[in-house]
A and B are shown apart, each in its own frame.
Chain A
């Protein structure tokens, strides 16, 4: 396959990635992402028949800890960095969700 990208492709990816790009960014990224993807296509020439994927390297199983309560951060700590926190009720405030 050969990768070509259009502005519409970049807009589709930006929507998936929750990025509101400017027109200048869309134009720039269309070229730059196509360049990188064209370079990355070389991996498709390598024969990987029957080769398992590596998602992590040391094969260690995820370990479980004992199911015992341990101290955790307070609600006040967790809300301290929120741009629009509502510490009096212990919530994060966000703009309108429905129709947003």
Chain B
């Protein structure tokens, strides 16, 4: 048995049945992560001692006959914007290079309570701003399928770690596609839950009306298992909703007969790479053969989603990132003798933030400033309402919505870094789910001729992850893309 080839559910079962100890599992993944990280740069931190301690506790729990949790002994990697008490958390930013959080994110506390073993922190775009993991103060992550390509972003390290079998599970955050797009680029499952489903307490905030935490895995079932563990209302995050949390794995019946899959034909007909388009059409055929009903839908404002998203997320970012001022935590610039407080703020932020973060703070400050607020920010919020209404109408005739996750396969490192607008356009199919608060998932649906992964995106109604997961799982059962792994 190659432990690192097992899925999260298989590991949980093997540990629970005593076929393998949590410590053996933990060592196997730590060894692989440490061996591959020089190539991939997927991890910013691997904390072997802490992980082995936690695994030892699961083994002791089993030895004492105490019932084990639903993720007992399952290693997990955390995007480096999730706080863990005592574990350096940087958001891949120089400004937080030395930050050691005094508290742990709610989602992480829930995972550990379920028996999961935190391996360490994964690389990402700085403060989750980017689509390629190239905006990291610690260098880019490489795509395990092709080391000259990006793993997507911003949660690229988490996606790469799962694809390379360095971890069976990872958490990421998705503000405009930052779980689904790297999931697609790395050939793994990436799940963004409904806005309000998972507490963001302990997630370093980027855009608070859009951010959501979710899992990466190699199977839909593992994503459903993880979502059940991390979901639920939390007094520490007022945006969480007190809706009951179903046992999401029980929704995975394999039966999608009669499920209406809406396809926004006009929206997905333009600007999509030919190999991606063919894989998407084949995926729809697969769903239809499984009994789903493919229906046309219209999302007339979806084309405006990219500008709306970049106006809103930058405005929110400019406010959220005001807290990084060289006073309370992290980096402070070296000052001259005559420099006062304002010089300290301004120089600390210039030296501490990378170029993309500064661009977004500037853009957000501009669209919120007097004279531009109505024309840009308020207008974007109004179009956001129109987009939500598009989805409300579409979901009258459809149970889930299907699109490609990304219009293009994984691109080359450096290919889009000179032109921010080109990088933003790569998010065309993912930002809508965040603007409307909907759940979305990317599942593997093929490869290009050059063996680069392609993802199918499914979106569900708010708080109806169950139907979306059932459809994604049925697709997975009908295909074998998820069984392939990169050769490393």
Contact = CB atoms under 8 A, between A and B. Distances in A.
Interface string A83-94: 110000000101
Contacts of B462: 57-58
For the complex of A and B, the 10 pairs showing the least CB-CB separation, nearest first, are: A100-B340, A57-B437, A53-B381, A20-B346, A81-B329, A83-B332, A48-B382, A77-B102, A40-B307, A100-B341
A97 interface: yes
Given A44-B379, A94-B327, A14 B301 contact: no
Tell me what chain B mostly uses at the interface: helix, strand, loop, or mixed: helix
B420 A95 contact: no
B247 to A, nearest CB: 22
Given A13-B369, A57-B435, A100-B339, 5 more contacts: A43-B379, A51-B386, A54-B435, A60-B239, A80-B100
Interface of A is mostly: loop
Contacts of B369: 13, 16
B349 interface: yes
Contacts of B376: 37, 40, 43
Contact of B335 (A32, A95, A98): A95
B350 A36 contact: no
Given A55-B209, A95-B341, A17 B361 contact: yes
Contacts of A28: 355
10 contacts: A18-B342, A33-B362, A36-B363, A36-B420, A40-B380, A48-B385, A56-B239, A57-B436, A77-B102, A97-B341
Contacts of B339: 95, 100
Nearest to A74: B102
Contact of B340 (A33, A65, A99): A99
Interface residues of B, number: 70
Nearest to B194: A58
Interface in B249-281: none
Nearest to A40: B307
A96 B338 CA distance: 9
A69 interface: no
Contacts of A100: 339-344
Contacts of B242: 63
Nearest to B361: A17
Contacts of A97: 340-341
Given A53-B385, A83-B326, A43 B380 contact: yes
A33 B214 CA distance: 31
B69 interface: no
A97 B386 CA distance: 46
Contacts of B330: 81, 83
A8 interface: no
Nearest to A63: B238
